[in-house]
């Protein structure tokens, strides 16, 4: 289902050499703007499917992405959660340069965890989380990238997808970690893309990209399916001075949205995801707790990730 598109002003004359040069220069990622987009999401409350906050945030994302993209598709469906709950979900897709068959896929999940099942207080085990970092940060970075793409277009086709129902996996304290209970929105999209036969040359998933002193390592599935893309992205980051964030070390395999994009669509897709050796679960300290709030977001991390992705797609 398409939500329409913005009219673009037509240009009758061919661009000059100077204009071409300006088109491929890398914009300066604005972390204040990204933080604003993150704050707007968190203000709705936990974005759990079937809730009012979820519906209101969807409207905000559709409207905001629609301000920037050529076309926005809203893919609505109903999926079944691990406990049998029927979830009404929306994958929100912004398309830039729809006629260009050479495409790059950028994605993040926009829903939040319905359970704080990693919280130190058992009283919070069934409390929904704000998801400032786990959900909000990746979406915020991509909205800021979308804003730049609308101001300084590139010729490559770009698709930005906000996946729903990524974080409605089985409750860790009582139901185990059944793999396919996670990433329900990306599982659906990967088997039912918004464009029949959709393909991109590669994809980049952002997950938990806003914590202070975050470290992004070579995640296992990323290296299995798309090692060249991992190396390219990490090299861009390190040359830009973000080597303290993007660390050259391989880690284990993380079941996330990118796995299903690789599995079902055969698009080599990597995951830029915060991994922390100092925590029992291997992620940022506030992961799946009620403390995943905006107070723990660091604009410097948003900048490092956003600027790196801009450098990758503008110098592709």
pLDDT digits (tens, 9 = 90+) for 79-125: 999 999 999 999 999 999 999 999 999 999 999 999 999 999 999 99
pLDDT at 179: 74
Which position has the higher pLDDT, 253 or 14? 253
pLDDT for res 295:
98
- 251 CB contacts (<8 Å, ≥6 apart)? 217, 218, 219, 220, 275, 282
* Token duo for residue 100: 């260009």
Q: What CATH fold (topology level) applies to the domain 27-314?
A: Aminopeptidase (3.40.630)
pTM, entire model: 0.92
Q: CB neighbours (10 Å) of residue 53?
A: 17
Question: How do residues 145-204 score in pLDDT, each as one tens digit?
Answer: 999 999 999 999 999 999 999 999 999 888 766 779 999 999 999 999 999 999 999 999
Tell me the torsion sign for CA atoms 107, 111, 112, 117.
negative
Is residue 84 left, alpha or beta, with left meaning phi > 0 and alpha meaning psi from -120 to 50? left
Using one digit for the tens of pLDDT, what is the confidence trace for 48-89? 999 999 999 999 999 999 999 999 999 999 999 999 999 999
Q: What is the reported pLDDT for 289?
A: 98
The pLDDT value given to residue 136: 98
Q: Average the pLDDT over 269-286 and give the result.
A: 95
Every domain of the chain and the residues it spans: 27-314
Q: What pLDDT does residue 10 have?
A: 33
For 62, counting Cβ atoms within 10 Å of its Cβ (0-12 exposed, 13-18 middle, 19+ buried), the class is: buried
What pLDDT is recorded for position 87? 98
């Amino acid at each position: 289902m398409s939500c329409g598109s913005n009219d673009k002003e037509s240009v009758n004359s061919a661009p000059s050499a100077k204009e071409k040069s300006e088109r491929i220069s890398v914009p300066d990622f604005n972390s204040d703007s990204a933080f604003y987009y993150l704050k707007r999401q968190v203000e709705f409350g936990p974005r759990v499917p079937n809730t009012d906050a979820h519906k209101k945030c969807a409207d905000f994302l559709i409207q905001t992405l629609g301000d920037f993209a050529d076309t926005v598709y809203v893919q609505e469906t109903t999926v079944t959660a691990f406990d049998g709950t029927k979830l009404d979900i929306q994958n929100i897709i912004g398309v830039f340069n729809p006629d260009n068959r050479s495409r790059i896929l950028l994605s993040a999940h926009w829903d939040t965890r319905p359970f704080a099942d990693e919280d130190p207080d058992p009283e919070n085990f069934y409390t929904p989380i704000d998801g400032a970092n786990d959900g909000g940060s990746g979406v915020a970075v991509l909205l800021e990238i979308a804003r730049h793409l609308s101001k300084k277009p590139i010729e490559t086709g770009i698709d930005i997808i906000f996946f729903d129902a990524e974080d409605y996996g089985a409750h860790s304290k009582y139901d185990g970690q059944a793999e396919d209970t996670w990433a329900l929105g990306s599982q659906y999209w990967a088997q039912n893309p918004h464009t029949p036969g959709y393909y991109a040359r590669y994809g980049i998933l952002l997950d938990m990209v806003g914590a202070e002193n975050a470290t992004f390592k070579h995640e296992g599935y990323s290296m299995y399916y798309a090692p060249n893309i991992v190396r390219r992205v990490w090299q861009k980051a390190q040359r830009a001075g973000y080597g303290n964030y993007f660390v050259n070390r391989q880690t284990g395999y993380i079941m996330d949205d990118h796995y299903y994009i690789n599995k079902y669509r055969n698009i080599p897709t990597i995951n830029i995801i915060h991994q922390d050796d100092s925590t029992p679960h291997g992620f940022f300290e506030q992961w799946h707790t009620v403390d995943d709030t905006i107070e723990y977001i660091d604009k410097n991390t948003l900048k490092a990730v956003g600027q790196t992705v801009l450098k990758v797609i503008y110098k592709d």
